[in-house]
């Protein structure tokens, strides 16, 4: 059972759509920001609130989320602009560090400041070898 506050916020989200199915993506977003664990209870809770079948809910979640144990997940943009500006170099340097899981993504929307990466939604652009090393040396909170 989700706690009352989360439930109330979820129902508020559902209320802005004429059909409850509309709240599916915002609810998934809400749960991801709450740091909640995705499990059967979550899937059924979202399905019940939105009227979207559990299988569809799980299908969308599986295709959109990745969990990597306790490794730090760093997204590195490998779109054309970032690739040309050195994204492979960024990936190689990050991969040399244990506890950093490098996820190559197609575009992070900061192409003018390539190469770029994100960690926990925070964007780091204009990467250079020095900047990257400083970010890695700063530990989990700095990356």
Partner 1 sequence: MKEHRILFDGIDTPDVDRWPVYQSHGGGEGLRRAQSLSPQTIIDEVGSAGLRGRGGAWRLVDVRWRQARAEGGAQYVVVDLLESEPGRFRDRKLAERHPHRLLEGARIAAHAVGASCVYVCIAAAATRARQVLGQAIEETGDQAIPIHLHPVQGPLPLATGDSLALEVLQGGRAEPRATDDVPGLPRLFSTGTAVVHTASTLGYLPSLLTTAGEIFSGVGSSWAPGTQAFCVSGLVRRPGLYEVELGAGTVRDLVEGAAGGARHDQAIKFVLHAGYGSTPVLRDTMLDRELDPGGWADPAAGEISGAFGGGVVLVADDSVCAVDTARRLAHTFADTACGKCLPCREGTAWLQSALEGLEQGTGTARDLEWVTRRCAHLSSSDLSLCGHGPMAARGIQALLEAFPDEFASHVDGGCPISKDLSMKVPDSVHVRY
Binding residues vs partner 1 (CB under 8 A): 16-19, 21-26, 28-29, 32, 50, 52, 56, 59-60, 63-65, 78-81, 83-86, 88-90, 105-115, 118, 121-123, 126-129, 132
For residues 4 and 96, what is the distance between their CA atoms, to the nearest angstrom?
A: 44
Between 4 and 18, whose beta carbon lies closer to partner 1? 18
Q: What is the nearest approach in angstroms of partner 1 to the Cβ of residue 1?
A: 22
Q: What is the nearest approach in angstroms of partner 1 to the Cβ of residue 2?
A: 18
Between 17 and 139, whose beta carbon lies closer to partner 1? 17
Between 51 and 139, whose beta carbon lies closer to partner 1? 51
Helices (H), 21-143: 24-33, 40-50, 54-64, 80-84, 87-95, 129-137
Taking Cα atoms as reference points, which of 95, 96, 87 lies closest to residue 124? 87
Q: What is the nearest approach in angstroms of partner 1 to the Cβ of residue 127?
A: 6
- E strands along the chain, which residues? 72-77, 100-105, 117-119, 122-124
């Amino acid at each position: 059972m989700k706690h009352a506050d989360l439930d109330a916020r979820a129902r508020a989200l559902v209320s802005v759509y004429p059909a409850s199915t509309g709240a599916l993506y915002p609810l998934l977003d809400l749960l991801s920001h709450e740091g909640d664990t995705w499990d059967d209870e979550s899937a059924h809770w979202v399905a019940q609130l939105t009227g979207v079948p559990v299988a569809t809910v799980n299908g969308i979640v599986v295709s959109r989320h990745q969990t990597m144990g306790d490794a730090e997940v760093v997204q590195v943009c490998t779109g054309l602009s970032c690739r040309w500006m050195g994204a492979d170099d960024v990936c190689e340097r990050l991969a040399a560090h244990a506890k950093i899981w490098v996820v190559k993504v197609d575009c992070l929307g900061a192409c003018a400041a390539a190469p770029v990466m994100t960690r926990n939604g925070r964007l780091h652009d204009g990467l250079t070898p020095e900047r990257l090393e400083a970010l890695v040396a700063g530990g989990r909170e700095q990356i």
